[in-house]
Each structure stands twice: as C-alpha cells, then as structure tokens.
Chain A
Amino acid sequence: MTFRLLTLTTLTAAGIATGIATGIAGSAFAADTVKLGYQLPLTGDTAQYGQDFRKAAEIALTEFNAAGKPFKVEIVFEDSRSDAKEGTNIARKFVDDKEIVGVLGDFTSGVSMAAAQVYKDAGMPQLSQTASHPDYTKVSKYQFRNIATQAQEGPYNAKWMATKGFKNVAVIAEQTDWGQSVVSGFSDAVKANGGTVAFSEFFNRGLKDYRSLISKIERAKPDAIYTGFFYEDGAQFLKQLQQLGIKTPVYSTSAAYSPKLIELAGGAAEGVHLTSNFLPTDPSPNVQHFVDEWKKRSEGAVPGQFPAQAYDAVRIMLAAVEKASPNPTREKVRDALAQTKDFPGVTGKTSFSADREAEKELVKVEVKGGAFIPVAD
C-alpha cells in the first residue's frame, strides 16, 4: 500500500518536475532563429481541426525554412484542447518566452478571446485563422484574424440570394458566438435589401435530429434556407432534409465548405450553394502547390477551407516576421501584420483593414455531381 502510494506520487512528481524544468529552461537557441507560438486543439472534441492546422502550418514552415532566408523560424505548438483554462495557461507560457514574437490561434472564439486578454496586456500580436467572435479584434490592437467575418459574408450572401429572387428566407445557425453573427449579419442585410426573414432559430452544436427544426422551417414557407453550420452538423441537416423530401434551396457560409460535407452527406449535398475563398481546383500555381503538399501528407485527401486559412495565416505571420527583421520584436511584428496588403494566399488576396479584420474575396460555389463547382451567380 505504502509502496504503491510511493510509486504513484513519484510518478506524478516526476511528471510535474519535468514540466517545470522545461518551463524554466526554455531552449538553447541560435541567434538567427525566430520563434512563433501556435495554440490549437490537438486533443479533445475539436482535435480534427487542430491537427489539420498543425499540418498546414508545417507545410508553410518547411517552405519558408527551405527558401534560403537569412534566418530560420521555429513554431512551438501547444495543445489547448479548446479549453479556456488551458488556452490562458499557454498564453502566459508564450508571453514568458521572450523569444516568441508572435502567436497564431486559437481555434474556437471562446479560447481565443480568453487568451487575447493575456496577449492584450503583454503586447503580443495574435493572429487567429478561425476566431469569429464579433468582439475578438476589438480586444486590443494586437488581435488579428484571417477569416472573412459574417459582417462581410452575410450581406454578400443576402445579395446573392436576392438576385436569385429569394425574398422570403429562413435562417438557422448553431448556438455559438459565430452562429449569432451569421444570423445577425445576414438578417440585417436581407431586411436592408427589402426582403423578409420568415424564420430564424439556433440549434446546439452536435444536434442529431433536425426534423423538428426542419418542420418548423417548412411551416414558415420560405423561398430558401440560409444556414450557419460546420460540415458535421451540415451533413446531418442536409441528409434529414432529403429524407423529408424537402426541395427548398439551401445556402450556406464558407464554414461548411469542406470536402467532408459531400463525403458525409452524399447525394443530399447536391444543389447546396455556398461561399468560399478557397478552391482546391483553382489552377493557380500556389493553390496547386498547397493542394499537392497537403495530399502528400494526408493520403490523397483534398484540403478544406480551414486548413487553407491556417496555411495563409501562418504565411502572413511569416511574411510579417520577415518584414520586421532583422531583430524582430513583438511590436514590430504587430506593425508589420497591420500593414499586410493584398497578400497573395491560397484563399485569395488578403488585406487587413484598420480594425485588423481580414478583407477577402469571396467565390460563389454550388455542389454539382459530388463536387464543389464555382458558379457565376
């Protein structure tokens, strides 16, 4: 008994001690290496996204370091499990490391916002590839994001649907900060264009049965349905829509743009309209290069919207570091990030506005014959 207790305590103590040791020591380090931090969920419920981001970041980093620049960059990946506790711990850890000049991540808005409170006080530039909280970039002048906000995408889609003649629409979205912005960004624009929102409701992420929601939508008799979901929920929704035999056209945001949507929903995804700023079929060389590299590392799978955003976010950060060098500091990297203009990424040209929001070109896409096909309108 005592022996067991002893073993267990020793094991734990050893674990904690190594952690503290690595925390204190930092790593010995050549002067021509610049360090960046990347906080992302590598385990837990949202690990699939974090793993993709790491893969995308590694592609970008390998290219950068192979390009014969005067310095090398190292990215420290830390697992936040999409948990605000861990996210703030990591933020403190990154801030403590004097060699880290910029941070990427986190994945969810909640964790990004919690970590942003730390980065705000420490003056650390933070660039998230996905944080969509309306107030995220308002936290301080150090928060940037590489994602089209719903304030941009909502009006774009509202206009698209209006030109198709859909005046009376239903809106549903997941009950998250992002879903809230989907509904408000879109509904306001619909009303401004003279249309009406017949029905609007939120559902909790991971919902399995959409039938009651669908029948409520159908009772409102909309011309079209606008949806704010990610591919997992989207596939469920589309399948159940098909099972109920409903033919009302469905429009969605770039968040649903993933090959997995078609993979999971199958034929039910046919005819779905959505926006995107990344097309793996785009013949331009940098997109094809990214798609090839991605396929090599993922057994031939095609990258979706989020990995592309992460890839661009990392490259924007690397470009800012290069611009801020020699001897980049956090402040210099922040200023360089703020000056990003027409960055030629795989998600189109990206510029940061004065309030550090990414301004992106959007592309209209329709699912036809089991593939995403760009359409003119």
Chain B
Amino acid sequence: MNAFETMAPADGLTRRRGLLVPALILLLVFAALPALLAGFDKGYFYQIANLALIFVLLSASMHLVTGVAGLLHLGHAAFYGVGAYTAALLTSKLGLGFTVTLPLSGLVAALVAFLVALPTMRLVSIYFAVATLAIGQMLYLVMLNWVDFTKGPNGIIVSKGFELFGFSLSGRLGAYYTVAAVVTLSVVAIGRLSHSYYGNALRSIREDDQCADAMGVSTVRLKMEAFTLSAFFAGIAGSLWAHMTGYISPGDFKFSESILILAMVVVGGLGSLPGAIIGALLLILLPEGLRALGDFRNIMVGLVMFLSILLLPKGLLGEVSALRLVRRQLGAAWRNTGKGEGIGWR
C-alpha cells in the first residue's frame, strides 16, 4: 500500500467534513438565526446581530493583512470610515441607494488604500505598524476637519436604508438578510483568498519575508494587494454601517475602533479565519451580554481578553502565536545580534 492510497479515504472524509461545516453555518445564519430573531421580535436582538455581522466582516478583512500576511495593521477603522463616508455622501449629495453605494464604498476605500500603500508598503515590522497608525490618524483627521466636504464633526444623516435595485429591504428581517448575505459572500471571498496558493504566498511573508523574497515571491506587491483587498472589504462594512444606523460621524472610526478590530483578530487567533470571526462575535456580544454587571462589564471584557491571551497565546483557534508575532514585529527595533540586522530596513 503506498502513501497515495492511504491518503485517499482521509481526503474524502475531510472533503465531506469540509462541506458539512459551511452548510451548518449557512443554515444557522440564514434559517435558524432569522427564525429565532423573528420569534423574539426584538429590535435589540436584530441590532446586535447586524452589528456583530458587520464586525465579523471587519475582523475577517483585517485577518487578511494581520493574520495571514502577519503585518501589524493599526489603521483599519479608517478604511471602514472611508467606506461609510462614501456611502453617506453618495446618498446625501447624489441621492443614490444602497445598491450603488455598496460596491462604490468598497472601491473607494480600496483606491484610497492603494494610494497610501504606494509609498509605505516597503516598510517592515514596527515601521509598517507605525505607518498604518499614521494612515489611520490621517484619514480620521480628514473626516473630522474637512468640514466643507465631510461636514466634519457634525456627521451625516443617511436617509436611505437597505434596498436592492429600488426594492426596499429596510424592514427588520430584510436588513438582517441584506447584512448577512453581504457579509457571508465577503467572508467566503476572504476565505478563498486566504486558503489558496495566494494565501500561502501571503503566509510566506509572515513566516520570513526575506526568504520569501529570495524564493521569488514579490513581497511588496503582495503586501500592497492584501492591504488594498482588506480595505475593500472594510469599505463594504462601512457602507453596511452607514445604511444601518442612518447617521455617521468621525467618532465611529477613531483609533480605538482599529484597536478593537485588532483585538478581535488576536483573541480569535492570528491566521485563522474562523478565529477572526469568533473573535468578532466575542467582543461584540460579550460587552452587550454583560450589561447587567453595570460599571464592571468593561473590566470583565478586559479580563476575558487578558485570560485568553495568557492561557491561549495562539488565540482561540490560531495558526500563530500572537506573542510571537508581536515580539517579532516590535522586537526588531531593539534586538541586536551583531550581524547588522535590527533597526532599520531589513
């Protein structure tokens, strides 16, 4: 019996198993959950479900850059904001509906990401992190201070809810299905990107970018693509948020939101898409679930995050240890091996 034959049944099994889990999740998202929501008929539960789904998409999109490609991204919320502002401005100034603003939000966010990526993507480790921090702050300040265009701190009222080619979906169940469908499609796309040769090429950057470069992987181009793609999906999430709440202001997209999304990716497990999804669900549902604790709920959320990093340094389902990644990202600055590496460009 050769190795090939022994592999075959196992492969078949994983393939069947590989179909079962997504089928169950789809059933949960599109049948069980809506049934439950309709059963309770509480706007609060719909709201939380939609919010959790939007953050699932944000976390999944950051997973592409931080989890798979291993680049510490500290400005993700800004692209979420660019998407939301695109949707809000197109709606309030041109009267366009969700069908048009959804793809445009993604594209504008991707375009902005591409432009800011051009000069920054050659940076590595902590320098990359600081560059993304600067990009995030810069975009936030544009939203806040370019008053003539963005209305600055006054924010924008988004008068139109969800619709598809003019057919209104703004009822509770309609909104849920819209958000769920958009998020599911996006997550599937991100899943295909990260579990493919393409994803493996990104992983090679995470594991050793110099080695990947030497093997002929175009690391700069890949980083740029990953960064732009992740901004595209963040923009999509922004459009969902704008049409869902009906009012956006720069405060929704500040630095602390970037950190929240980063925490989701890390708690869930760096490099794992299911991890990123679970991380997002955890950090949205837990603070709401703990409302009964009053002022102590943030401490509890902090405690859960702390314990999860302490006890599960790879996150709940991680491929890589968060501690290892951070050590490598930040450690490069002060590590001196005497071989010329360390501070500066690698």
Contact residues of A with B, CB < 8 Å?
A: 1, 4-5, 8, 11-12, 15-20, 22-24, 42-44, 78-79, 81-86, 88-89, 92-93, 95-96, 108, 110, 113-114, 116-118, 122, 133-135, 139, 175-180, 202, 204
Contact = CB atoms under 8 A, between A and B. Distances in A.
A295 B236 CA distance: 51
Contacts of B147: 180
B295 A16 contact: no
Nearest to B246: A117
A202 B285 contact: no
B280 interface: no
B198 interface: no
Interface in B119-149: 141, 144-145, 147
Interface string B61-91: 0000000000000000000000000000000
B252 interface: yes
Contact of B294 (A5, A79, A116, A178): A79
B144 A135 contact: no
The 9 tightest CB contacts between A and B, nearest first, are A19-B289, A16-B289, A117-B246, A92-B43, A92-B44, A92-B47, A110-B249, A93-B44, A4-B311
A8 B155 contact: no
Nearest to A43: B298
Nearest to A8: B308
A96 B298 contact: no
A20 B51 contact: no
Contacts of B200: none
A177 B294 CA distance: 29
Contacts of B291: 19, 22, 78-79
A89 B288 CA distance: 8
A204 B255 CA distance: 15
A145 to B, nearest CB: 16
Given A18-B289, A135-B157, A204-B144, A42 B295 contact: yes
Given A88-B245, A113-B157, 12 more contacts: A11-B304, A78-B291, A84-B251, A85-B51, A110-B252, A113-B247, A133-B155, A135-B154, A177-B154, A178-B153, A180-B147, A204-B141
A78 B44 CA distance: 13
A171 to B, nearest CB: 15
22 contacts: A12-B282, A15-B286, A15-B290, A16-B286, A16-B289, A18-B289, A19-B288, A19-B292, A83-B251, A86-B287, A88-B245, A89-B288, A92-B46, A92-B47, A96-B44, A114-B245, A114-B247, A117-B157, A135-B154, A176-B153, A177-B249, A180-B154
Interface of B: 40, 42-48, 51, 141, 144-145, 147, 152-155, 157, 245-249, 251-252, 282, 285-292, 294-295, 297-298, 300, 304, 307-308, 311-312, 316
Nearest to A117: B246
Given A11-B304, A84-B252, A133-B154, A16 B285 contact: yes
Given A16-B285, A79-B297, A113-B249, A180 B152 contact: yes
A4 B312 contact: yes
Contact of B48 (A89, A110, A134): A89
Contacts of A85: 51, 252
Contacts of B252: 84-85, 110
Contacts of A86: 287
Given A110-B251, A179-B153, A23 B42 contact: yes
A312 to B, nearest CB: 25
Contacts of B155: 110, 113, 133, 177
A180 B249 CA distance: 14
Contacts of B246: 114, 117
A96 B42 contact: yes
A201 B344 CA distance: 39
**Chain A contact surface mostly:** helix
Contacts of B295: 42-43, 79
B245 A117 contact: yes
Contact of A23 (B44, B144, B294): B44
A96 B308 CA distance: 33
B153 to A, nearest CB: 4
A134 B152 CA distance: 13
B86 to A, nearest CB: 18
A42 B311 CA distance: 30
Nearest to B252: A84
Contact of A108 (B43, B141, B145, B251): B251
Given A15-B290, A17-B289, A43-B295, A177 B153 contact: yes
B154 A89 contact: no
Contact of B304 (A8, A19, A81, A204): A8
Given A175-B144, A175-B145, A88 B304 contact: no
A51 B307 CA distance: 29
A101 B312 CA distance: 46
Contacts of B157: 113, 117, 135, 139
B334 to A, nearest CB: 28
A44 to B, nearest CB: 8
Contacts of B154: 133-135, 177, 180
A264 to B, nearest CB: 24
B178 to A, nearest CB: 17
Of A24, A78, A114, chain B has the most CB atoms within 10 Å of the CB of A114
Nearest to B147: A180
A11 B293 CA distance: 14
Contact of B44 (A15, A79, A89, A116): A89
A113 to B, nearest CB: 5
Contact of B247 (A95, A117, A176): A117
Nearest to B40: A24
Nearest to A11: B304
Contacts of A42: 294-295
B245 A22 contact: no
Contacts of A180: 147, 152-154
Contacts of B282: 12
A29 B282 CA distance: 32
B85 to A, nearest CB: 14
B81 to A, nearest CB: 12
Most buried by B among A5, A8, A17, A133: A8
A202 B285 CA distance: 37
